[in-house]
Structure 1
Amino acid sequence: MGYSTFDLSVADHVAHLRLNRPQELNTMNGAFWTELIDGFAEIDADASVRAVVISSTGRHFTAGLDLKWAGTSLGNQSADAGRAREKFRRHVKHMQDTFTVVDQCRVPVIAAIQGGCIGGGVDFVTACDIRLGSADAFFTIQEVNIAIVADVGTLQRIPHLLPQGLIRELAYTGRRWTADEAGRQGFLNRVLPDHAATVDAALVMAAEIAKKSPLAITGIKQVLNHGRGRTIEDGLEYVAVWNAAMLQGEDMAKAVTAQMTKGQATFADLAA
C-alpha cells in the first residue's frame, strides 16, 4: 500500500516507517492521522515483522500538528452547540486512535528522533517502546503554547516514563527540552552524534530484537502494557496465565538448546 506522509518497507523481519514530508517539517496533516492507522494495520498483518523503526527526514522529526489543517477540520460546525461538541469529541478520539495503534502494535516500536519533536511528535514517540535521539534533538509539549491541553496521548503515557515534577514543568511551560536532558532523565535510551547514527542504532537494535523468539517478544510487550495502571498482583496473575498458554510451543526448547550449545536459535514467524 502506498502512503503520502511516510514510506514503509520491511527487510529482515524489521519494518521501517519513515516520515517523508521534510519540506513541511513532517507536520501531521489530515492524511497522516488515517495513514498511520493503516500503516500499523499493515505491519500487524505481516507475520514476518518482529520490530518496527520509526524515523524521519530533513531537519526535524516532526513539527507536530499541521495547524492549517487543524483549523480547516474544525470548520463547518453544526449550529447546535451540543452536536458540534459531540462531533469534536469524535474527531479527538480518532486522533488518539492514531497513536494508540503504535502503543498496541504487537511488536516493539523504536523511534529514531532528530531535530525537533514538537507537540504531536511527543504524543507519537511516547507511544513507542524505545526512543533514541540525535544530539540535536529536542522536545516540546507545545500544546500549552497554543492554549490547548495536550489530548492525544502525551499526558497519559509520559507519566510512565518520567517523574511527575518534570512532567508538570514541561507541560506547564512548553519549554524546549534537549536531548542531553532527555537522555539523563531516561526518556531517551541513548543519544547519538547525528541523524544517520541514530537511525543506524535503531536498526541495529531492531535487528537484535528480531533474533529473539517473536512469541516471547510479543508476550513481553503485552505483559508490560497490561501492567500499566494495575496492581502488581494483577500483573503477576496476567503473566502466569500468559505463560501457561504460550509456553506450549517450540521456541523455549530451541532457545535453551542454543544457549547450551553456544549457537543461535532460529525461530518461526508468528502465525499470519
Structure 2
Amino acid sequence: MELKTLDYRVDDGIARITLNRPAELNTMNGDFWPEMVRVFDEIAHDMAVRCVIIASTGKHFTAGLDLKWAGQNALASRGSADLGRQREAFRRHVKELQESFNVIDNCRVPVIAVCQGGCIGGGVDLVTACDMRIATADAYFTIQEINVAIVADVGTLQRIPFLLPQGLVRELAYTGRKFPAAEAARHGFVNRVEDSHEAALAAADAIAREICAKSPLAITGIKQVLNYGRDHSVADGLDYVAVWNAAMLQGDDMTSAVQAQMARQSATFQNLKA
C-alpha cells in the first residue's frame, strides 16, 4: 500500500500508523484523509491485528488541518453552481472528512494515540476518536477551530464531552487555549504522561502488547459494548451486552483463560476469523 502522509506496518499483532510529514508539522492535507480510511480498511481485514498505535514524527504530533489545502478546496467547491448546490457539496465534503476519524472510533481493536508537542485542531478530532492517549510532558492539546472562527466539525465536539467535564470542554472550545499534558492527565484525558517521546512510545507498546495477549473476541466485544453504551441509555447497553455474550460466549477462549489462570500460565488465543 503506497502512502504519502502515513507510514504503516504490522508486527506482533500491533498495527503502527505514523504521521510522516514533520517538516509540514504533520498537517492534514488532501492525501491524509483518504489514506487514514485506507489504512483502517486494511486493519479491518487483517485478523492478525489486535491493537493499533497512532504516533507521529518531529516536534509536534500535528498542527491540524492544512489551511492552504483547505482554502484551495473551499474555492474550488464554489464553482458555478447555485448556492444551495455549493453548500450541499460542502456538506458531503465534511462528511467525508469525518469518516477519516469515524474509522478509528469504529475500529475492531483498541487504538492508542501517542502525542508529542502540539496536538492542534484536527489532531484533537483524531485523538478523541482513539481509545487511549499517552502524552509527552511537553504535549498540549488545542481546539484550534475557534481561533480561525469556525466550529470544529470532524469529531471533537461530539466525542470530547465523554472524556472531560462539560465546563472544561466548553472553556477549551470557546477559548482555544492550550490544554497541557499535566492538566489533561489530572482530568483523565490522557492515560499517562512520559518525559520523552521514546518513553511515551514504549508505554504505548507495553499496553498494546498486554492487549494483544488477551482474547481478541473478548477485546472486540468490550470495545463494541463500550461504544454502544456511550451512545445509548444504560438499559439499552445492558440489553446489548446480554445479547452479545449470549451470542459470542460459545468458543474456547473463556475455557482456555480459566484453565490458564488455574494453572498459573498464560493462555494463547486464536485470531478472529476473516
TM-score bracket, shorter-length normalisation: over 0.9
Pick aligned residue for 2:203 from 201, 204, 218: 201
Distance in 2 of aligned mates of 1:136 and 1:81: 44
Distance in 2 of aligned mates of 1:145 and 1:231: 35
Distance in 1 of aligned mates of 2:149 and 2:130: 26
Residue 67 (structure 1) aligned with residue 75 (structure 2): no
Computed over aligned residues only, the root mean square deviation of the Cα atoms, in angstroms, reads 0.6
Question: What's the offset of the Cα at 1:78?
Answer: 3.4
Unaligned runs of 5+ in 1: none
Name the structure 2 match of 1:18.
18
Distance in 2 of aligned mates of 1:99 and 1:224: 17
Q: Classify the secondary structure of the residue corresponding to 2:52.
A: strand
Name the structure 2 match of 1:118.
120
Q: TM-score, normalised by structure 2?
A: 0.98
1:20-39 residue CA offsets vs partner (Å, 9 max, x unmatched): 00000000000001000000
Name the structure 2 match of 1:225.
227
Q: Which residues of 2 match residues 1-272 of structure 1 at below 5 A? A: 1-76=1-76, 77-79=78-80, 80-272=82-274
Supply the AA of the counterpart residue of 2:237.
Answer: G
Distance in 1 of aligned mates of 2:231 and 2:108: 19
Distance in 2 of aligned mates of 1:57 and 1:217: 29
Unaligned runs of 5+ in 2: none
Q: Classify the secondary structure of the residue corresponding to 2:75.
A: coil
Q: Classify the secondary structure of the residue corresponding to 1:40.
A: helix
Question: What's the offset of the Cα at 1:229?
Answer: 2.9
Q: Classify the secondary structure of the residue corresponding to 2:231.
A: coil
Distance in 1 of aligned mates of 2:231 and 2:199: 35
Q: Classify the secondary structure of the residue corresponding to 1:139.
A: strand
1:232-265 residue CA offsets vs partner (Å, 9 max, x unmatched): 1100000000000000001000000010000000
Structure 1 residue ranges, 4+ long, deviating more than 6 angstroms after superposition: none
